[in-house]
């Protein structure tokens, strides 16, 4: 049963990583692309690391996985925020949709 739960979490994490990568390609501007990059990446990493826990052999490796998960859970959103703040301070403006003229 734990193998099944692990594989479901691993596949779900892989699916979220794939959809986040597609979102990075499809969104129109830098700021919009940061959202799937940061959010999707954090959730995918979390699910994959938790999915690996029942599959490993020793508790030492489990503690390492939990520590890596916590580190990534904190640093990924922080780095995304720092990147967006640097872009804002540099003067990068968000994308605006052009309105179609009637007539």
Q: Using alpha carbons, list the distances in angstroms from residue 89 to 34, 39, 66, 75, 81.
A: 16, 22, 35, 21, 12
| Radius of gyration, CA atoms only, the chain | 18
pLDDT at 25: 93
If one compares 70 and 95, the residue with the highest pLDDT of the two is 70
**95 in a structural domain:** no
**94 in a structural domain:** no
pLDDT at 95: 83
pLDDT at 102: 64
Q: How many domains does the chain have?
A: 1
- Mean of the per-residue pLDDT values of the chain: 90
**34 in a structural domain:** yes
Taking residues 2-29, what's their average pLDDT? 94
Look at the pTM and tell me if it is higher than 0.75: yes
pLDDT at 10: 96
Question: H helices within the chain, ranges in order?
Answer: 2-26, 30-35, 41-52, 59-90
The interaxial angle of helices 59-90 and 41-52, nearest 10 deg, is 180
Taking residues 33-51, what's their average pLDDT? 91
**22 in a structural domain:** yes
Domain of 74, in residue numbers = 2-85
CB burial string 37-65: b at 16+ within 10 A, e below: bbbbbbbbbbbbbbbbbeeeeeeeeeeeb
pLDDT at 101: 66
**98 in a structural domain:** no
């Amino acid at each position: 049963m734990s193998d099944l739960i692990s594989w479901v979490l691993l596949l779900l994490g892989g699916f979220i990583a794939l959809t986040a990568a597609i979102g990075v390609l499809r969104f129109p501007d830098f700021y919009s692309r940061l959202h799937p990059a940061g959010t999707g990446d954090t959730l995918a990493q979390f699910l994959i690391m938790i999915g690996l826990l029942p599959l490993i052999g020793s508790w030492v490796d489990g503690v390492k996985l939990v520590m890596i998960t916590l580190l990534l859970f904190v640093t990924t959103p922080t780095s995304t925020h720092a990147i967006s703040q640097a872009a804002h301070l540099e003067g990068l403006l968000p994308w605006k949709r052009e309105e179609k003229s009637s007539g």
